[in-house]
Structure 1
């Protein structure tokens, strides 16, 4: 898969989020920014992303996914030098 394919899948399955995807093949880094994450624990945020890609993970099209899921306020306050952890 290509990063743009992963981005389109996520945009179609999770409303109101901005996605930044890096990687290639079956290994990707997903950064998701959206109000949908407000009040969610880090685990629940990751589960939301994983569930949106469950078909691709089950088929093997996606294998390794690293996820950063932030609210817009968290994203804006993150230091650019910290890779916006």
Structure 2
């Protein structure tokens, strides 16, 4: 699995206004901004991302994925505050 492949999988499963993926091939970090996250708690957002990865999570193709998930409004506020 490459960062580009993981990026493509997430983008194919969720509408993303912004998506960053970094990692070393097994351990990944992602910043995901999606309007689909509106009204959902962090756990629900993560479940949505895991659902886009399906069996790749189950078969350990993606061993660890650390996520920061934002709605577009939350992302704008985070950017204004200098957070990432």
Secondary structure in 2 aligned to 1:36? helix
Q: Over residues 13-56 of structure 1, what are the superposed CA-to-partner deviations in whole Å (9 max), with x where a residue is unaligned?
A: 12x21311011211100111011111001110111011111211
TM-score, L = length of structure 2: 0.88
TM-score, L = length of structure 1: 0.87
**1:36: which partner in 2?**
36
Alignment coverage as a number of residue pairs: 81
Give every structure 1 segment of 4 or more consecutive aligned residues whose post-TM-superposition deviation is greater than 4 Å: none
Secondary structure in 1 aligned to 2:69? strand
List runs of 5+ in structure 2 lacking aligned partners: none
